[in-house]
Structure 1
Amino acid sequence: MNLYYLISLLVILSAVFAYINTRLLKLPLTIGLMLLSTIFSVGLLAVNQFFPSTLTPVTTAIKTIDFSAVVLNVLLSFLLFAGSMHTDYRQLQQNRKSIILFALVSVLLCTVLAGAALYFLTSFFGTPINFLYCLLFGAIVSPTDPIAVLGILTKANVPKSAEINIVGESLFNDGIGVVVFVSLLALIEKGSGHIQAWDMPLVFLQQAVGGIGLGFILGYIIFFLLKSIDDYETEVMITLAVVMGGNWVAHIADVSGPLAMVVAGLITGYKVKKEVMSDVTMMYVEKFWHLIDVLMNAILFVLMGLKILSIHFEWGYLLVALAIIPLLLLCRYLSLAIPYQISKQWLDVSPKTILLMTWGGLRGGLSIAMALSLSPSFAVKDELVFITYIIVMFSIFVQGLTVEKVAKKIYGHR
């Protein structure tokens, strides 16, 4: 199946599932799409038990999709640019201390805690995993996804500061999570005998500082180009070209594309819209990127559901996955609560927000993409992919469908 037909299939399935969800299920769009695509995949697996050849063309088509490349190199850039462009910069600025703290310190702390949890859990079950591999798993599950939870929080009427902390943290911790993952993977591939104490900090700085610097350059390229013209069609194309070209440059320069997109999106959403765009251009740019955001998310969550068809299953993996879910929630809470307790006198964040951020910190497609990006020769790839998939499904279906009730319980009916 060639690329055109694959994209067509994904868009058609996204539209069909979106219609069914809007018409019948009435769930948050991303959750409804993943649920329907998961049911569709399970149905195909059931049919395959009676007609074994039925599933072959479908699984072959799914396996030809490089999920990690699609998410990390394509979808993530569009989603982060669109998400940051639509984020209230002034609210972000007011909560910058807590957002930086949670996006950086909490991700690093959660990486260590989650890695330790997997190490001790697999040792308990008699199938220990190398601790460095466990830390890599920690980096995979530490980033959170704001997309599925944002609309729910709006309906739950939570305080704006809590909402902006969850969204702001999620925008930046995606980039930080990828940087930590890439840094750890570089160390593992280098080999324990060749690792120097400064290797990981150097890789981390190159990825993070380089990505942020590239983001400023991209944002100001948009600023100066749009300042010199007034034609909404051309201006929309320029924003699209800069995002696509910027992601390409990030890949070549070996810096963090996700962080670059977040920074470029923030500059576009605040400085460019405020100082350069006409009202007509602003309307078209916002509508265009809103549509891109919705479409890319739809494709992402449909892909996540369909990927079940190519996941390697073992009962031992399932046991570890189910056992680690409550431990990960504890890790998430501690990674937020510890830095919060140390620095709460400088933050405008309540303990209630920490609780909501714990339950509302959903894992999504980025975690699956990082797990799937591991080389087929990676010692425990199948196990890490399966465990990550179960964690993401629990996060989306259980946490995602109950976060509104949890928010109302924490804050009361406002």
Structure 2
Amino acid sequence: MTEGGLNTMLGFLPKVVILLLLIVLLGFFNEKITKFPYEISLMLFSIVISMIMLIFDSALRSTSISELLSNLQVFNLEALLMEGVLCFMLFAGSCHMRLLDFKKHARPITMLSVVATLLGAIFYGSLFYAGASLLGLPFSFPVCLMFGSITAPTDPIAATSILKKFNLPKDISFIMEGESLFNDGVGVALFVCFSGMVTMQENGSFLAVMGKELFGAVLVGILATAICFPIFALTKDGNRRIFVSLLAVSMAYVLCEHFGFSGAIASVVCGISFSALCNRREQKGQPLDLEEFDTFWEILDNLLNSVLYVIMGLTFVHILQIPHVLLLSCLAIIFNLIGRFSSVGLAAFFAGKLPSGYDKLSFVKLLTYGGLRGGLSIALAMSTREMVSADTYSIILGSTYAIVFFTTVVQGLTMKQVYQKIEKGLSK
């Protein structure tokens, strides 16, 4: 089949059908046979499928399968995340967060989401700069710091959907989820600062950017909730409550995009605000019927996650074929673990007393290994296309993919064993 015929065959709806087919079949196979965590299975099996297809492609001396895999990238992943579904994913992850628990753990969550993310970007960028220099690659220090800001934020989607399956202590689990929900805005602010250094643009100091990204987003999130929640509370129609929540989070995200605030933070603020106001009504003896609301957001979150992980899996093999990427990806994974351990260690020193009987070292080990990366890192890496050379862009994107794969699949699959070993050490 010609390339034009292939593109014609794979219009939008056929691509969606193929993606849904993969999601259903891979999920069913995992449910009955392998029984891995759901998101891990989708990414892992998608990578395996793409590798098998490329091997057949090479054996048949054809390019049709390579074209097919390229065409299966239904959306521009950066646009899909940053301009589309990320706000809904973040709202879904935060709309059931208990505000009282957040107040209880505000200090460690703040230290981890702000201090650890900042230090992680600096440590990781410095290590990657040293490694690139030893290999003779022309990476400037600002580019490496920008790379560090891309990989520093942990992924809220992975944290809430994977880590909760391992029966972590409630307080520790909440801190890890809270960190991953709030460090997105810090990571984006750092990315703006360091990318400004790369492109020689005046984006302001870190504190100025953080003030704009963080406080502006919080204000927009609260404003969107204040406008929409009264309708949410007064209506008795379950479907309308869903529509109101969709309106609130999408409106907050669009306003942040317009004013240059962090849409990610605004989405989280909307979710937490909705949760807090619902809990407040329940405490006053005026509970809302949220069964349809909860079911909708759980299903939507699962679907969007599934599409994201399948697309990332299908794209992964192509990325690793880029020159220098495989070696630098291995270094990136090692540097990421070192940078995460160092930054979390320093942040934990100022985090105060830790819950569930954890000492500082055990806490740092758990958060280092539980620092999963995801779609935001991929989206930020893709947004550097116009800032750096083609070779540098390929290395940044490929190394980011490698870190996301390693943290999601390797660390995700072994997280339970690591947690059990830490717990065993605490009980001695």
TM-score scaled by structure 2? 0.89
In structure 2, what residue type is equivalent to 1:167?
E
What are structure 1's unaligned runs of at least 5 residues? none
Higher relative contact order (CA 8 A, sep 6+): 1
Q: Secondary structure at the match of 2:264?
A: helix
Contact 2:15 2:74 in 1 (8 A): no
Q: Secondary structure at the match of 2:121?
A: helix
Q: Give, in whole Å, the separation in 2 of the partners of 1:293 and 1:350.
A: 34
Contact 1:109 1:335 in 2 (8 A): yes
Contact 1:97 1:347 in 2 (8 A): no
1:401 corresponds to 2:403: no
Q: Give, in whole Å, the separation in 1 of the partners of 2:384 and 2:184.
A: 18
Change (3 A) 1:160 1:127: same
Q: Give, in whole Å, the separation in 1 of the partners of 2:154 and 2:65.
A: 33
- Give the corresponding residue for 2:336: 328
Q: Per-residue CA shift, 1:23-68, capped at 9, x if unaligned?
A: 2111000001101111111122112213323225414414562111
More displaced 10-residue stretch of structure 1: 218-227 or 39-48:
218-227
- Give the corresponding residue for 2:3: none
- Give the corresponding residue for 1:217: 223
Q: Per-residue CA shift, 1:283-303, capped at 9, x if unaligned?
A: 111111111111111111111
Q: Secondary structure at the match of 1:293?
A: helix
Cα deviation, residue 220, structure 1: 1.9
Find the partner of 1:305 among 313, 316, 330.
Answer: 313
Q: Per-residue CA shift, 1:171-218, capped at 9, x if unaligned?
A: 1112321232233223433x2xx658x444333322222111111112
Q: Give, in whole Å, the separation in 2 of the partners of 1:223 and 1:215.
A: 12
Change (3 A) 1:256 1:152: closer
Contact 2:93 2:160 in 1 (8 A): no
1:54-69 alignment, distance < 5 Å: 54-62=64-72, 65-69=75-79
Q: Give, in whole Å, the separation in 1 of the partners of 2:180 and 2:257.
A: 22
Q: Give, in whole Å, the separation in 2 of the partners of 1:235 and 1:150.
A: 23
1:176 corresponds to 2:182: no
In structure 2, what residue type is equivalent to 1:335?
S
Q: Give, in whole Å, the separation in 2 of the partners of 1:324 and 1:309.
A: 17
Q: Give, in whole Å, the separation in 2 of the partners of 1:371 and 1:97.
A: 30
- Give the corresponding residue for 1:246: 252
Cα deviation, residue 4, structure 1: 3.4
Change (3 A) 1:266 1:350: farther
Find the partner of 2:370 among 356, 360, 364.
Answer: 360
- Give the corresponding residue for 1:53: 63
In structure 2, what residue type is equivalent to 1:76?
L
Report the identity percentage: 29
1:127 corresponds to 2:137: yes
Find the partner of 1:83 among 63, 88, 93.
Answer: 93
Change (3 A) 1:15 1:245: farther
- Give the corresponding residue for 2:125: 115
Change (3 A) 1:292 1:69: same
1:334-373 alignment, distance < 5 Å: 334-341=342-349, 343-345=350-352, 348=355, 350-351=359-360, 352-373=362-383
More displaced 10-residue stretch of structure 1: 175-184 or 248-257:
175-184
CA-based RMSD of the aligned residues comes to 2.3
What are structure 2's unaligned runs of at least 5 residues? 1-9
1:194-233 alignment, distance < 5 Å: 195=202, 198-233=204-239
- Give the corresponding residue for 1:284: 292
Q: Per-residue CA shift, 1:357-388, capped at 9, x if unaligned?
A: 11011111221121122225622110101111
Q: Secondary structure at the match of 2:155?
A: coil
In structure 2, what residue type is equivalent to 1:230?
K
Cα deviation, residue 346, structure 1: 5.9
Q: Give, in whole Å, the separation in 2 of the partners of 1:399 and 1:263.
A: 29
Contact 2:232 2:245 in 1 (8 A): no
More displaced 10-residue stretch of structure 1: 258-267 or 305-314:
305-314
TM-score scaled by structure 1? 0.91
Contact 1:75 1:300 in 2 (8 A): no
Contact 1:59 1:309 in 2 (8 A): no
Change (3 A) 1:344 1:237: closer
Change (3 A) 1:152 1:243: closer
Cα deviation, residue 134, structure 1: 0.3
Find the partner of 1:31 among 21, 34, 40.
Answer: 40
Cα deviation, residue 273, structure 1: 4.9
Cα deviation, residue 225, structure 1: 1.9
Q: Give, in whole Å, the separation in 2 of the partners of 1:150 and 1:377.
A: 32
In structure 1, what residue type is equivalent to 2:258?
I
Find the partner of 1:383 among 371, 395, 415.
Answer: 395
Find the partner of 1:100 among 110, 119, 124.
Answer: 110
